[in-house]
Amino acid sequence: MSDTFLGTSSGGGPSESRNCSSLVCDMLADQSLWMVDCAEGTTRQFALQPHYTKPHVRIHYVSKIFITHMHADHIMGIVPFLRNVLLPPPAGHSSHPASSLPKPPKVQIYGPAGLRLFVRQIMKMTLTRTLENYVVHELLTAEDTTTPCDPPSINSASSVAEPNILHCNEVAGQDIYASPDGLWRAIAQGNGKISKIVVDAGPIHHRDPCIGYTFSEIQFPSRKLVILGDTYDPAPILPLCINPPPSLLIHEATDSHISHHADPSGKLSRRTAGEVHQKALSRGHSVPEMAGAFAKQVDAQDLVLNHIGGRFPAPRNPQDRARHKIINDIGKKASEAWGKGRHVAVAYDFLRVNVPFNNVNPTSSLSTLNRHHGQVGVLEAELEVLVAVSVESVEVEASTSNRSARSREDSDITGNKRRRW
């Protein structure tokens, strides 16, 4: 089980070192991928994966997309993605209403109210026709307005003036209402090689409605991945983040105070911690200390910071010491608030992170991969805190031969072989 970050920038991006939000999850190990958020440029990020990050995540393997909220830096890549993955129809092919076709949707999209209409209308406005179908399921509260899925006709399926009518390649989606406690349980599931995966969702506080998602194995080894959207307080999703606690928590850290020792020039460190904290709150975002505090509250085993502000570009290579100092300072602040004495990774584009087995090695940090002399690297002094979980720690692979082949191909910079599962 692993996560590949395709975009790690906050809404001020994209920047020269970060695309906007997108994260691909290999949850099932069956050549299907699930994606969280799909910013503008996500389709291109699939094509730009560096050679040393193999095996690459493949765009045509994505079968589910989970959207956290309706801000542009999280959704503007959906329609370009669908145009690519659903393939163009053959020449001379005439579109038929999706409801008359037995073919199930190739891509299922989950997200907040308004997402269905957004995708539908852009598909219509751009006169998009595809070979395969898609569906949008909306996670609703009692106050939300539903978007109807009226069946199309040959003449109406592309009519922007009729927003309640399905696009010609759209299958009618579900309206999934929150339970009385405000949570959405078992909105999706999949059967993995090791365990069944169940997806739950819950609201989190942002300046606009926002959702966090949990991905849980319901049998051994019972790992749980928690991915939060933009937030200044994820408290409403807390019931989904405990019993068991997260194996891996991915939490935003849009802004951060920078210590003077990490920024002697004073360009970033001149802002006080109080000023930074207040500004982040006013915009509905978090600082690293808030991410660490939530990780402590839910007893997360590992923590990765995401949605990084434009002030903090990713290091260009291992020798980029100035940027490394700043990024390390951000991670250290989260680690201190977390209180476990553990390294906190600050995500960069194309970083791949394994979801750890619970309590396999409580002294090891999370397995961060793909650190290469041509991409973002770590200083030699930092390698000791980036200990990958060894393949010898847990022997649960169904196929040892396949595991060995993958392990030979996918060694990280420390020399330890990494596990995808």
Report pLDDT digits (tens) over 61-77. 999 999 999 999 999 99
Question: What pLDDT sits at residue 389?
Answer: 29
Out of 72-76, 92-96, 206-210, 362-366, least confident range: 362-366
Q: Is the peptide bond before 14 cis (omega within 30 degrees of 0)?
A: yes
pLDDT tens digits, one per residue of 191-241? 988 889 999 999 999 999 999 999 999 988 899 999 999 999 999 999 999
| Average pLDDT rounded to a whole number, residues 128-139 | 97
Please say if the pLDDT value at position 102 is more than 90.
Answer: no
User: Taking the domains of the chain in order of start, what are their residue ranges?
Assistant: 2-177, 233-409
Q: Is the pLDDT of residue 26 over 90?
A: yes
Arch. (CATH architecture) of 2-177: 4-Layer Sandwich (3.60)
Bigger pLDDT: 28 vs 368: 28
Cβ atoms of 9 and 45 within 8 Å: the answer is no
Contact criterion met (CB below 8 Å) for 164 and 132: no
Return the pLDDT at 196: 95
pLDDT at 362 over 80: no
- Token pair 């959702």 is found at 211
Whether residue 140 has pLDDT greater than 50: yes
pLDDT band at 403 (very low <50, low <70, confident <90, very high): very low
Q: Which two tokens stand for residue 288?
A: 């690293």
Does position 402 have pLDDT exceeding 70, yes or no? no
| pLDDT at position 87 over 70 | yes
pLDDT value for 52: 86
Return the closest-CA partner of residue 215 out of 235, 195, 232. Answer: 195
The residue-averaged pLDDT of 98-116 equals: 85
What pLDDT, on the 0 to 100 scale, is given for residue 157?
60
User: Looking at the predicted structure, is the pLDDT value of residue 242 above 90?
Assistant: yes
One-character DSSP codes across 263-307:
-TT-TTTTS-HHHHHHHHHHTT---HHHHHHHHHHHT-S-EEEES
Q: Which range among 198-212, 253-267, 385-399 shows the weakest confidence by mean pLDDT?
A: 385-399
- H or E stretch covering 63: strand 62-66
Report the chain's mean pLDDT, rounded to a whole number. 86
